[in-house]
Chain A
Amino acid sequence: MRKLFDFHGGIHPPENKHQSLSEPIRPAGIPRELVLPLSQHTGAAAAPVVRPGEQVLKGQLLAAASSLVSAPVHAPTSGTVSAIEERPVPHPSGLSAPCIVLECDGEDRWVELPAPPADYRELEIPALLERIRDAGIAGMGGAGFPTAVKLTSGTHHHIDTLIINGPECEPYITADDSLMRERAADILEGVAVLRHILRPREVLIGLEDNKPEAIEALRHAIGDQPVEVVVFPTKYPSGGEKQLIEILTGRQVPSGGLPADIGIVCQNVGTAVAVRDAVVHGRPLISRITTVTGEAVARPGNFEVLLGTPMHYLLEQAGWDPTRSGRLVMGGPMMGFTVPHPEAPVIKTSNCLLVPTEKELPSPPPAQACIRCGLCAEACPASLLPQQLFWFARGKESEKLEQHNLFDCIECGACAWVCPSHIPLVQYYRAAKADIIQQRRDHEKAEHSRLRFEARQARLEREEAEREAKRAARKQAAEKRAQAAAAEGGEDPIQAAIARAQAKKAAQQQAPEASPEEKAAAARQAAQAKLAKMQKRLADARAAGEEDKIVTALEASVKKLEEKLASLEEPTA
């Protein structure tokens, strides 16, 4: 028996997992329209390679990875690209982001896929990674970090342990559980690919002890492969990458570091299946298993959903009663976020849609005062002092926050769950983190601007100095010439120049000055010309249907010119 370790803190919220486990995984079907956000992962958004109106087939590339940390997007079914536009996306802000909208034709015709290799073991590792990258796989557990990037960084380190993340510690969610129950063989096939890429010393599949069926299925599928299923007591958040690593190995990922730094790579079970589909069958990531649960759906369960499926469509498949649900949560009740628009699509990281009734998960009551009871510190899996962080976050004391390791907070919500005063602690930490990151950025920007300002200042001074030097040189040269001329007994050129200048000035003074009337007339003429020009521009702008802003600005300048003209004409009138 493997020695298990424990992580600090943790909580035992009601699991509520049985609701969605009564039925096997169901296909959600093809909706009329799919909405595919260009950014379904951590990193840069993908760049579209199709145009509106284009016919696409299932599995065809729609948007390509735009940088190293990015993932492509593929068509989950066949149809027509109807638009590339801003649509509401699943994001806590409820804002919109660029999406490819696909009108489905219902035929579900596959594109011709590149032939999968007869045996992937014969491929070079970079070629395998390329396949995974091209399949658009991003961590399916919820964070959505592009898998190929994670694996590539893994190949740069010596990896001794590959951990397959299967505890699924969040209440309500059973997507991974049902996947392990029903598709254990697929998971193992994916694990074999990962093993081939990373060549770890050992492979562990970590599970909580509340999933006996999944454990049984996995053990059965493993057979004699060198993969070990490790079962440990249920405790939230054992599925957190850092916590899982501590449970299984007793080691901690250094703060700010990656698991690869200590020779560990973690992959979610869903990711393993996606890797298998990509490498063994050459299929891109176009669907996923999503749990739909909560008391506001009549038939909760797990669905195989095409990416881009609008959430309300999926919810309706499970018998959703919109009047009963107070909120729509993507993810679990501990770390999920509320989605204000049910038309937002299911994306690569949507492991669960939770529609609880108000009774099931009541709205947060008003926060009471923190009584410093310390329950949060006891529950914190990162051994932080949440209530101190709370005080500092309220006081916006960035230095103190960093001193108390705010950035090691994984936002698991255990502190807020136990808080007797119902303080929304996690929100405080999120806001404080964003604030500090913003400050850092501002500071970097200021420093950058300062350098540029100083460089410019230095350049201007240098130019001035150069000009000064040239002037001095010319003056010197002139003096020399003068001296030379004087020495030759000729006329001093400087004296001559001064004399010329004086003569010119005298002549000018004698000439009759332009009368004030003439001056005014000239000014009037100039103003009239300007006005005419401006009026023409205004007319052009109106004709061209320019923006209101521009038109108003032009109107204002026309008016100003007219006034000026009027004031010029006044004295003569």
Chain B
Amino acid sequence: MAEFIAQQPLLAALLALAGLGLPFGALLGYAAVRFRTEGNPIVDQINGILPQTQCGQCGYPGCRPYAEAIAAGEAEINQCPPGGEAGIQALADLLDVEPLPLDAEHGEESERKVAYIREDECIGCTKCVQACPVDAILGAAKQMHTVIASECTGCDLCVEPCPVDCIDMLPAATGLGAWHWELPQLASRNVEIIATDANPKQAAA
């Protein structure tokens, strides 16, 4: 038998490979079971990155459905305007795909806003209360409504149903408390060194 094998180099090689492959395969299989990491399911991780405004701008009824759609490969990662570029980047890092520019079809990135009800115009119809995805509007039928600003995600969903158009979307925090230093403006110091940022127009061309 051994002699026969020795005379058949092809067979010998195959046998040797199989002989190596089986134990290593078994070892890897064992390791996969033994050392399995119980990570967050991917949907939860994606959902964790999404801004939870529940605004539906992505075309899904809330952040979690969108996360599920991304995980299932049904949606692109660039459909969430509130998450903005940073959100897309984080998703791209998580899923190990190329970041895409924000899909303008779903809206543009804007500063965070807060809904504000002009209270003397409110007729107390509770339509906005029902529309709010995070229960941030307080009010009862025929009573004036108001927005709990700290709970509002700025999703816009209450604006549409209002029959008297008394809801404004105002920029969220402004003033002294919200101010902070910006990264130094490279342009204002008139020189920069990285090749790629030399001329955006050229880089795009």
**A interface vs B, CB < 8 Å?**
39, 89, 91-93, 95, 97, 364, 366-369, 393-394, 424, 427-428, 430-432, 434, 438, 442, 445-450, 452-453, 455-457, 550, 553, 557
Contacts and interface: CB of A to CB of B under 8 A. Distances in A.
Contacts of A438: 180
Contact of A446 (B50, B151, B182): B50
Contacts of B176: 39, 89, 91, 93, 95, 97
A431 B183 contact: yes
Contacts of A428: 183-184
A442 B179 CA distance: 16
A431 B182 contact: yes
A452 B189 contact: no
Contact of B134 (A364, A393, A449): A449
Given A97-B176, A453-B52, A431 B165 contact: no
A392 B51 CA distance: 24
A367 B184 contact: yes
B151 to A, nearest CB: 7
Nearest to A554: B165
Contacts of B45: none
Given A93-B176, A450-B47, A456-B133, A366 B181 contact: no
B181 A427 contact: yes
B196 interface: no
A448 B136 CA distance: 12
Pick from A368, A453, A457 the residue with the most CB of B within 10 Å.
A453
A340 to B, nearest CB: 13
Contacts of A39: 176
Name A's interface SS.
helix
B151 A452 contact: yes
A453 B134 contact: yes
Contacts of A364: 189
Interface of B: 47, 50-54, 62-64, 118, 133-136, 151, 153, 165, 175-176, 179-184, 189-191, 193
A445 B180 CA distance: 19
Given A446-B51, A453-B133, A553-B165, 9 more contacts: A93-B176, A367-B184, A367-B191, A368-B191, A428-B184, A438-B180, A453-B54, A457-B62, A550-B118
A393 B183 contact: yes
B184 A424 contact: yes
A434 B47 contact: no
A557 B180 CA distance: 40
A449 B183 contact: no
B190 A434 contact: no
Nearest to B152: A449
A374 to B, nearest CB: 19
B52 A427 contact: no
A553 B168 CA distance: 11
Contacts of B133: 453, 456
Contacts of A393: 183
A450 B52 contact: yes
Nearest to B49: A446
A173 to B, nearest CB: 22
Contacts, number: 77
A192 B59 CA distance: 68
A366 B180 contact: no
11 contacts: A97-B176, A367-B191, A428-B183, A431-B180, A445-B52, A447-B52, A449-B153, A450-B63, A452-B151, A453-B62, A453-B134
A368 B191 CA distance: 8
Given A449-B153, A452-B135, A557-B165, A95 B175 contact: yes
Instruction: Give the top 10 A-B pairs by smallest Cβ distance, nearest first.
Output: A434-B180, A430-B181, A446-B52, A449-B52, A93-B179, A452-B134, A450-B52, A431-B183, A366-B189, A369-B193
Nearest to A459: B135
A544 to B, nearest CB: 10
A67 to B, nearest CB: 14
B189 A367 contact: yes
Contacts of A456: 133-135
B92 to A, nearest CB: 14
A292 to B, nearest CB: 25
B183 A97 contact: no
B134 A427 contact: no
Contact of B191 (A97, A366, A445, A457): A366
Pick from B50, B118, B179 the residue with the most CB of A within 10 Å.
B179
Contacts of A430: 180-181
A452 B47 CA distance: 14
B181 A434 contact: yes
A427 B184 CA distance: 7
B84 to A, nearest CB: 10
B63 A394 contact: no
Nearest to A364: B189
Contacts of A368: 191
Contacts of B50: 446
A445 B63 CA distance: 14
Contact of B190 (A89, A366, A369, A448): A366
Contacts of B151: 448-449, 452
Given A449-B53, A450-B63, A456-B133, A394 B165 contact: no
Contact of A92 (B51, B181, B191, B193): B181
B102 to A, nearest CB: 17
B87 to A, nearest CB: 10
A32 to B, nearest CB: 26
A372 to B, nearest CB: 13
Contacts of B136: 452
A549 to B, nearest CB: 8
A461 to B, nearest CB: 13
A200 B183 CA distance: 43
A449 B165 contact: no
B184 A442 contact: no
Contacts of A367: 184, 189, 191
A97 B180 CA distance: 15
B175 A97 contact: yes
Contacts of B118: 550
A491 to B, nearest CB: 41
